[in-house]
Amino acid sequence: MVANGRNAGRWGAYAALGIGLALIAAAGDGRPQVAANSGANANKEQSRASDATQGQARAPAVIQIEPSAKAIEAEAERQSAQRRIFWLEPDAWVALFTLVLGISTIGLWLETKRLAGLAEDEGKDLKNSIAEAARAATAMEGVSTALQATAKNNELITERQRQAVRAYVFVISGNLYTGITVNPPQTNRPNEPFIQLEIRNSGPTPAFNVDTWGWISIIEPSQEHTLTIPVRDNNNRSSVGGYQNYPKYAWLRRALTSSEIEDVTAGVKRIYFHGQINYMTLGEAHTTNFRLCYFGEFPPKLPGPLVFAEKGNEAD
Residues 178 and 295 both lie in one domain: yes
Residues 102 and 199 in one domain: no
Most confident of 47-51, 64-68, 142-146: 142-146
For position 23, what pLDDT does the model report?
A: 54
Residue 34 has pLDDT above 50, yes or no: no
Q: What one-character DSSP code corresponds to residue 179?
A: T
Is 62 part of a structural domain of the chain?
A: yes
Whether 137 maps to a domain, the answer reads no
- CA–CA distance, 298 with 176 (Å, rounded to integer): 10
Per-residue pLDDT band at 141 (split at 50, 70, 90)? confident
> Are 190 and 303 part of one and the same domain?
yes
Model pLDDT, residue 90: 75
Q: Is the pLDDT of residue 65 over 90?
A: no
Domain ranges, residue 8 = 2-122
Same domain assignment for residues 99 and 173 = no
Q: What is the pLDDT of residue 236?
A: 77
Q: Is residue 151 part of a domain?
A: no
Whether 147 is covered by a domain: the verdict is no
Task: Judge if 114 and 181 occupy the same domain.
Answer: no
Given 63, 88, 122, which residue is the final one in a domain? 122
Residues 264-285 have pLDDT tens digits of 999 999 999 999 999 999 999 9
In this predicted model, what pLDDT tens digit does every residue of 72-110 receive, in sequence order? 888 877 877 777 776 677 777 788 889 888 898 998 889
Residues 55 and 176 placed together within one structural domain of the fold: no
The pTM (predicted TM-score) of the whole model is 0.55
180 and 298 together in one domain: yes
Domain count, the chain: 2
CA end-to-end span of the chain? 72
Mean pLDDT, residues 129-137: 87
| CB distance 218 to 269 below 8 Å | yes
Give the whole-angstrom CA distance, residue 261 versus residue 195. 16
Radius of gyration of the chain (CA): 63
| Residues with Cβ within 8 Å of residue 111, at least 6 apart in sequence | 5, 6, 8, 9
Higher-pLDDT residue of 175, 34: 175
Phi and psi, residue 71, nearest 5°: -65, -40
Q: Pick the last residue of a domain from 89, 122, 155.
A: 122
Contact between 208 and 277 under an 8 Å Cβ cutoff? The reply is no
* Same structural domain, 98 and 184: no
For residue 301, pLDDT over 60 is answered with yes
CA distances from 131 to 121, 141, 198 (A): 15, 15, 69
> Which CATH number do you get for residue 223?
2.60.40
Do residue 195 and residue 300 come from a single domain?
Answer: yes
C-beta separation of 279 from 213 below 8 A: no
3-state secondary structure of 129: helix
Q: What percent of the chain has pLDDT over 70?
A: 78
Looking at residue 31, its pLDDT comes to: 43
- Nearest Cα to 178, choosing from 268, 292, 261? 261
Residue 84 and residue 183 in one domain:
no
- 162 part of a folded domain: no
Say if residue 313's pLDDT is above 80.
yes
Is 75 within 8 Å of 117 (Cβ atoms)?
no
Residue 218 within a domain? yes
Whole-angstrom distance, CA of residue 106 vs CA of residue 192: 120
Residues 103 and 176 reside in one and the same domain: no
Residue 282 lies in a domain: yes
Q: Is residue 226 part of a domain?
A: yes
Residues 9 and 114 in one domain: yes
| Dist CA 246 CA 277 (whole Å) | 12
Highest mean pLDDT among 22-36, 42-56, 149-163, 194-208: 194-208
